[in-house]
């Protein structure tokens, strides 16, 4: 069973529907015991970094997620959910602490790069890790993004894919059981469904 964490923030229904479409059992839940019992866990997210961290704190999910990561359960952060896995974000002009499961930080796209922000739409990936969730995914595959802030990972060995949008940014990560995508796999057609399938089939 795949648990999709419900903490009051996130694009939950579409992720759940995507897993259902590829015939994997998933559940949207805020129950700590259900999350601990799951074979895989997904941390979705949309909106502001600080608001999401506040919601995780109020629902007791910060401790739950850290324990899930520590015990080796495959954990996938999607969009804001991926950003939350890292040390901090400068969203709102202040340094807001994240979960700190991976080293790195999140900044706003430069306002002078001559492109519209937020970055919305399809863009190609330069895949760095050709295993895990990207197993069998072709080079330069296109996926769907919606974001104004981008990740800079401290350890390049954690970077699973990068993308170009005015600047080069880290678009996906993978270290052990902790994974994340800045793009929305549930909105990225067959490529995204294959990424979710790869995640669902990871052996623990």
Residue numbers annotated as active site: 79, 184, 186
Q: What is the pLDDT of residue 174?
A: 97
Structure tokens at 123: 């863009």
Domains and CATH numbers, the chain: 2-200 (3.40.50.880)
**Rounded to whole angstroms, how far apart are CA atoms 151 and 160?**
12
DSSP E strands in 68-148: the ranges are 75-78, 88-89, 96-97, 104-108, 119-124, 126-127, 142-147
Question: Does the pLDDT value for residue 204 go beyond 70?
Answer: no
Mean pLDDT, rounded, for 68-77 = 97
| Per-residue pLDDT tens digits for 98-113 | 999 999 999 999 988 8
**Rounded to whole angstroms, how far apart are CA atoms 53 and 66?**
13
Q: How many residues does the chain have?
A: 204
Check: CB of residue 160 under 8 Å from CB of residue 132. Answer: yes
Query: Sorting pLDDT into bands at 50, 70 and 90, what band is 92?
Result: confident
Q: What is the pLDDT of residue 114?
A: 83
Mean pLDDT, rounded, for 29-37 = 97
């Amino acid at each position: 069973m795949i648990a999709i964490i419900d903490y009051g923030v996130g694009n939950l229904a579409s992720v759940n529907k995507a897993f259902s479409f590829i015939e994997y059992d998933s559940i949207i839940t805020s129950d700590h015991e259900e999350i601990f019992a799951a074979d895989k866990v997904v941390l979705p997210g949309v909106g502001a970094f600080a608001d999401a961290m506040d919601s995780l704190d109020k629902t007791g999910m910060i401790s739950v997620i850290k324990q899930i990561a520590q015990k080796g359960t495959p954990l996938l952060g999607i969009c804001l959910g991926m950003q939350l896995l890292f040390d901090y974000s400068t969203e709102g002009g202040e340094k807001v602490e994240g979960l700190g499961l991976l080293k790195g930080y999140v900044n706003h796209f430069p306002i002078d790069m001559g492109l519209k922000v937020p970055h919305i739409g399809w863009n190609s990936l330069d895949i760095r890790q050709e295993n895990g969730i990207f197993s069998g995914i072709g080079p330069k595959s296109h996926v769907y993004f919606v974001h104004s802030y981008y990740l800079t990972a401290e350890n390049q060995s954690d970077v699973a894919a990068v993308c170009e949008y005015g600047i080069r940014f880290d678009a996906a990560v993978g270290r052990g059981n902790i994974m994340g995508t800045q793009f929305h796999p549930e909105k990225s057609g067959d490529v995204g469904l294959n990424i979710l399938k790869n995640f669902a089939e990871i052996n623990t």
